[in-house]
Amino acid sequence: MRIHVVSDVHGAADDLARAADGADLFVCLGDLILFLDYDNPERGIHSDLFGADHTRAYIAARTAGRFEDARELSAAAWAGRGIVDPRDRWAVLEGMVAAQYTELFAAMPAPALMTYGNVDVPALWPQHLRDGHRVLDGESIVVEGHHLGFVGGGLVSPMRTPYELDPEEYAGKLAGLGEVDILFTHIPPKVPELNYDVVARRFEIGSAAVREYIERVQPDYALFGHVHQPLQPRFRIGRTECLNVGHFHGTGTPFVLEL
């Protein structure tokens, strides 16, 4: 069985439409939305709202770990649009997110197995799903004799992205999988080599619960995304091969797993 896996699509609809070519099974590990493009500040929802110059300053603050400064920049930009209460921002953002989802789900291959990334908005997915799209989060299924487990989302972080869970809730979803042959998550296990982004020059948040699950269950593979330019794209924990499937927005190429 040939499995094509993508993660961190971030708006790459044209490449997504071709990502399942030649595959027996297609899997998407989330982060469909392009809110903030670190490589090109002129693209993404943030730039559409506030312009490229403001986006560059915002990215610079976040990249330097000055998250409070970034929040102040954001608050000032929203205030310039007449929106002071953070709770009122979603009224503007929802339509922009939905417009991206309309394009991306139209391009999403079918059939497809999918789970959420930390930048995704799960409540908006149902209205965009097409026949053959199956969303799995804290669930396992059997495909051609292989037990596949899926856990979506990320962990609470200073980034305050839309789908972040506290560690206990996240661990509970893992515990509900039972034993699987292949573990699919958006975020990696907590392993420094897998968590460090060499371009952003910071550690992204990995999951201790994912690592503990791998150590206990020892699936054949653990596949994930989230870290766009990892120090190491693969790492072995016991007999489990841990594999970062790559930054699809940057590469336009799916990860291929042959079973």
Average pLDDT over residues 82-107: 95
CA-to-CA distance for 212 and 251, rounded, in angstroms? 30
* All domains in the chain, ordered by first residue: 2-33+110-258 (3.60.21.10)
Residues with Cβ within 8 Å of residue 238, at least 6 apart in sequence = 214, 215, 218
Asked if the model's pLDDT at residue 39 lies above 90, the reply is no
Listed in sequence order, the DSSP H helices in 108-191 are 167-175
55 Cβ contact list (under 8 Å, min separation 6): 36, 41, 42, 44, 46, 47
Q: Give per-residue pLDDT as tens, 228-237.
A: 999 999 999 9
What rounded mean pLDDT belongs to the chain? 96
Predicted confidence (pLDDT) per residue in 182-202, tens digit: 999 999 999 999 999 998 888
